[in-house]
Chain A
Amino acid sequence: MIMRTLLRSLLPALALASGCRDGGAGGTEDTGSDEVQRAQRGELQWKRNAALQRDLMRALELPEDGVCNELGRGSCTREIHHISLGGADPLRIGLYEPLPDTLVSTPIVLERVVMSACVNRANLDRGGSPVVFTELDLGAEAPAPDDEAFTATITALYRRLLSRDPEPQELTTLGGLAVDDAGKPVSAHDFAVLTCFAIGTSSEFLFF
């Protein structure tokens, strides 16, 4: 009886968990094949400035002032670009509710915030005990895509930023960040920052 009650109470949670992969917004089904049904309503929520800041702090284990400081003059997410990142500002400009949609400057500002956070994390990992880029020698070249350190680094970033594992195709695509346009390996530091940036500025990270 107790087991039955427990199972019943867990059913909604199990259903929700199984729906996470398809977004659950429009009857999308994960068929296991490449065919993905599009969410018909597509009602996505925008991860606003404070949530964005907290998510980056959590994912990259950064202090609040270690995410982004715009030209050394103030917090990107709280002071300088808070409106563009979806924040409200009732006291200064009487914006009591945040804007419903992103602005022209939103993707640009998001890049600045994520790039800054990724650089800060990579610098901390290079200068002390690594926390995120634990498998990289940040003073050396980037690992080759078939290197275990490559897969471990990408997987760690996906888990930290998107709460899932990368798909094989995603690992293949990100192999392009281990080298420059001429095919020459980039530094491990640049590789760390660029992969973090690419994943952290994805629409999957900004919307939910």
Chain B
Amino acid sequence: MINKIGRRQMLLAMAGAMGTTALGSALGRATEREGSTADKDRKLLFVLCATGGASIVDSFLPVTRTEVDDDALADTLNVYDDAKIITPTGSNIRCPGYVEPAGLLGGLYELGFSLDGFLAKHYRWMTVLTQECTSVNHNVGQYRSVNGAGINRGRTLMEAMALRHGEDLIIPNCNMANDGYIQPGVDPTLPAFAQAEIIASPLGFAAAMDGVKGVLGAPDRALVERARGLREELDDASMFGKTFADSPRRQRFLTNRREVQPRLEAAQMMDRLTLLPPELLDPKYGVMSSPLLPTLTGKFSNLLVDPWESQAALSVLLAYYGLSCVSTIGLRQEPTFGNEKLITTPIAFDFSHNDHRMAQYLMWGHVLKAVDALVDLLQQLDYLGDPALGKMWDRSMIYVATDFGRDKTRPAGAESWGTGHSLNNGTLIVSPLLKGNRVFGGIDPMTCETYGFDGSTGDSAPSLKCSEGHIYSAIAQALDIEFPERIDMSALLA
């Protein structure tokens, strides 16, 4: 039987033939192959899922008390004292300054990252888009934030990204998030390679790159290869193998084992992706820490205990070593401890039900700390370790996805209050591929509700609304992803 060789097989074979070897130094070449045309053109997407409802009104589209122009009304809206709002020099975007820990459980929090510090450092790359989503159900809202409410044949952004930029990558679409953010798209024609590789344990994922390395007592690799070869013979010749030769499930498994696994092992990815420091790796396993670990821990100092940080760190490695073009990470529901206090709330942004302002400030800080680290690392590292391919940042986009917004009102005069879910919100994207230092759309101070904009001109108008499909289209257009229903968002492009 002659197997048809597809474009993906050919590209993978070429990449494998050119070979990959281990790094000689921490910031050396990630691979030894020449950058292919696909490498040169490839874009990178990092989807950071702000689980629970990250409110744009509490980050980069705040309203001040005086803008309301009605004290009684201002007392019932989620507005900030004028003195609390900071606009860094040169920035067209503003944000709340430090929020004192207060309210329910206030004394348990440790605020480690300020929004205004982030804004001052990164406003050039920040694009704020207003939007109105279509569900206040967590799972549904999460899913629609990454699939544009089905605008692209039911494909998630990550699947579309893998299709466009990941055909010659081994695991183009890696997803470490949760709930609706890990839900696959519904396009039955989507090729298997574009489907997400779900990663629940970022610290342990490196081991999934090699079938033998680090398994104590395993025979010599040459003998294992011999056993693998004979196993393939047995598998095809057995009654079971013959009977179920056409089983799609079995075929998928065998294709990965026979075509993908050898490439992963040849690329020696286990050491490269290992996020455990040397002191936590017993030498008897023969596994090394990633050569990039010192660089990563400089930015993600808490990665051993904070899943958010370990996910973000792994996403950098997956992109840097040319394994994937899109990584999705997500805030966990359980709180994370810092040195002595909590650095995240229970149920992430959804703790706004109990204490809106504190939860929003703490969680936005936690999200932005990872964005800050990602930007710094992507600006530092050459793509695939190859200076000819430029910095990773030049081709990157960081999309902060969230479930939905939060209610804009509060009990009159309350300093600490809880909020429900709201369709009305906005989105933050950090990337050199979009017009930075810009807010597209606006906010009505009398309601704290955002309004939309025209994607082709960039003009805002209270009569306009932008949906999940607009956000999806803007990201897709910037990442060269075309599809028939794409909404023109040219005004946003850099």
Interface-side segment among B151-159, B242-250, B413-421: B242-250
User: In the complex, which residues 129-186 of chain B have their Cβ closer than 8 Å to any Cβ of chain A?
Assistant: 139, 170-171, 177-180, 182
CB pair A93–B243 under 8 Å, yes or no, is no
User: In the complex, which residues 219-265 of chain B have their Cβ closer than 8 Å to any Cβ of chain A?
Assistant: 219-220, 222-224, 226-228, 230-231, 233-235, 237-250, 252-254, 256-257, 260-261, 264-265
CB pair B208–A197 under 8 Å, yes or no, is no
Q: How far is the CA of A174 from the CA of B243 in the complex (A)?
A: 21
Q: Does B406 contact A (CB under 8 A)?
A: no
Q: Does B88 contact A (CB under 8 A)?
A: no
User: In the complex, which residues 138-168 of chain A have their Cβ closer than 8 Å to any Cβ of chain B?
Assistant: 167
CB pair B208–A111 under 8 Å, yes or no, is no
Q: Which of B200, B218, B238, B247 contacts A82 (CB 8 A)?
A: B200
Interface-side segment among A7-15, A58-66, A99-107, A128-136: A99-107
* Chain B residues whose C-beta falls within 8 Å of the C-beta of A23 in the assembled complex: 240, 243-244
Minimum CB–CB distance from B299 to chain A (whole Å) comes to 23
Interface-side segment among B1-9, B279-287, B360-368: B279-287
Q: How far is the CA of A190 from the CA of B182 in the complex (A)?
A: 41
Contact with B along A57-84 (1 / 0, CB 8 A): 0000000000000111110000111111
Q: A81-B204, A194-B223 are in contact. Are A177 and B239 (CB under 8 A)?
A: no
* Chain A residues whose C-beta falls within 8 Å of the C-beta of B252 in the assembled complex: 101-102
CB pair B230–A174 under 8 Å, yes or no, is yes
Q: Does A193 contact B (CB under 8 A)?
A: yes
Minimum CB–CB distance from B307 to chain A (whole Å) comes to 8
CB pair A44–B249 under 8 Å, yes or no, is yes
Contact with B along A88-106 (1 / 0, CB 8 A): 0100111100010111111
CB pair B217–A123 under 8 Å, yes or no, is yes
Q: How far is the CA of A23 from the CA of B198 in the complex (A)?
A: 30
Q: A94-B179, A169-B237, A170-B234 are in contact. Are A176 and B226 (CB under 8 A)?
A: yes
CB pair B247–A111 under 8 Å, yes or no, is no
CB pair A108–B230 under 8 Å, yes or no, is no
Tally of A interface residues using CB under 8 Å: 72
CB pair A190–B219 under 8 Å, yes or no, is yes
CB pair A70–B243 under 8 Å, yes or no, is no
Q: A71-B285, A203-B240 are in contact. Are A107 and B261 (CB under 8 A)?
A: yes
- Among A23, A40, A71, A111, chain B packs the most CB atoms within 10 A around the CB of A71
Q: How far is the CA of A103 from the CA of B172 in the complex (A)?
A: 12
Minimum CB–CB distance from A184 to chain B (whole Å) comes to 11
Minimum CB–CB distance from A207 to chain B (whole Å) comes to 6
CB pair B230–A173 under 8 Å, yes or no, is yes
CB pair B234–A104 under 8 Å, yes or no, is no
Q: How far is the CA of A120 from the CA of B465 in the complex (A)?
A: 62
Minimum CB–CB distance from A160 to chain B (whole Å) comes to 16
A-B contact pairs, 19 of them (CB 8 A): A39-B243, A39-B244, A44-B244, A92-B178, A92-B332, A94-B139, A104-B171, A108-B257, A112-B211, A112-B214, A115-B211, A115-B224, A122-B217, A177-B226, A194-B227, A195-B227, A203-B235, A207-B249, A207-B250
B residues near A (Cβ < 8 Å) are 139, 170-171, 177-180, 182, 192, 195, 197-201, 203-205, 207-212, 214-220, 222-224, 226-228, 230-231, 233-235, 237-250, 252-254, 256-257, 260-261, 264-265, 276, 280-282, 285, 287, 330, 332-334
Instruction: Across the A-B interface, give the 7 residue pairs with the lowest CB-CB distance, nearest first.
Output: A111-B211, A42-B247, A94-B179, A107-B257, A80-B204, A105-B208, A119-B217
